[in-house]
A and B are shown apart, each in its own frame.
Chain A
């Protein structure tokens, strides 16, 4: 499957999904004529077109490579890991990926995007006969402005409720200013422990930016937060304007009675994700990931499925 995984990496790195392009265009049209914000989004759109036509990375920071592989029982995870690593090395050689994995202690770049913890791979066994791999390339600038709140938080008056979640998200987007390559997409993970809360936030980023949360309470909060984050006026690149975020996506997990985490995963406008389905030796590529499909299920079923 190495060849199919290599093509998946190329697509993720070079082709921005159509749903993201659409909301960037909407944002561009909402910015004032002749403003730096509008001109910035014009450049963004031209850049995406150029990247796609020339098979070059949309952004030089090809990010953390996050894989979600759904596989049948008959497939070995060790073999899949080997194929993903081989494809990653090849993709680095072909300049679809920048050498982006650095030894945190020695400072040495491994040169091929592999090493302890790189790439990030999550496996899920399922009852289907096909294999589906989702890939996201998440840039470091946006990762650096991501945040985690432990509620209650006195500084922003955030308690352990929906209002507390709302305050945390607005505060995190404010703190990010223009440093995360906005307009961003905001993934929110409520509950869990410190690690799984942020994993939930990142999984939210696989959703289509224009989908609707099947949970009416969360759907309402997503809509409110989209409007309120845009009221901040930070705008594209932090140049000012009405397009500060492109979407807000919220998911929740059970927590301990002692803990209440709100994790905010900021994703830059270069929201690079792609998916491949492999059945009977044939690969079919898609811009809609398996993670996004979950959101067509009713809320209760989706929660049970995790």
Chain B
């Protein structure tokens, strides 16, 4: 298990490779469909200090409010491929070092990992209470009223958030490999 403290230096991220198991410590920020659309349309300034040399987490959590503080009840990853049209531009603009989600992403994001110096970290899809329990504090929430609970920008301080690198800054992607291998098998099974 490789420990990464956030924010992180580009040179440390470039050392990571596909298959590495990573544990994260520091701040990660949730952003999913509406947040990505908003970022590329408006390039909001408030986002910059949150994710520069930091991490975007594709997640729409279940949150519970007690008094003034918010607690993450369930916070697993959502499917990342929906952000494929936006992610490369977001990574480049804000200098994001880690994209966390599930299911992997496509060639545009893989190229951005190489160009910007970033990796894609795959968290376990559906493991929501397990991952929520690594959130030691909800530091802030942005645009909650406008975007709603699942789509808002949640700033999570995490301690030991686990994931596996499936796309690295050298241009390797576990997802692209498996797609190729399983396509051969599909063709054989279907008989075409």
Contacts and interface: CB of A to CB of B under 8 A. Distances in A.
Q: Which of B79, B125, B166, B182 is the most central at the interface, judged by chain A CB atoms within 10 Å of its CB?
A: B125
Contacts of B164: 36, 239
Interface string A39-68: 110011011001100101111111000000
Interface stretch (B6-14, B47-55, B85-93, B173-181): B173-181
- Chain B interface secondary structure, helix, strand, loop or mixed? mixed
Interface in A144-173: 144, 156-157, 167, 170-171
A263 interface: no
A51 B129 contact: yes
Contacts of A270: 126
B73 interface: yes
The interface residues of chain A, by DSSP majority, are classed as loop
Interface size class of A (residues with CB under 8 A): 35 or more
B168 interface: no
Q: How large is the interface on B (under 10, 10 to 19, 20 to 34, 35 or more residues)?
A: 35 or more
Given A47-B126, A177-B175, A237-B122, A170 B181 contact: no
Contacts of B124: 40, 43-44, 47, 237
Interface of B: 19, 21, 34, 59-64, 73-76, 78-79, 81-82, 102-104, 122, 124-130, 132-133, 147-151, 162, 164, 166, 174-175, 178-179, 181-183, 185-186, 189-192
Enumerate the 4 nearest inter-chain pairs by beta-carbon distance, A residue then B residue, closest first.
A109-B148, A179-B103, A181-B125, A60-B74
11 contacts: A47-B130, A99-B149, A141-B125, A177-B104, A177-B178, A179-B102, A233-B182, A237-B103, A238-B174, A238-B178, A239-B166
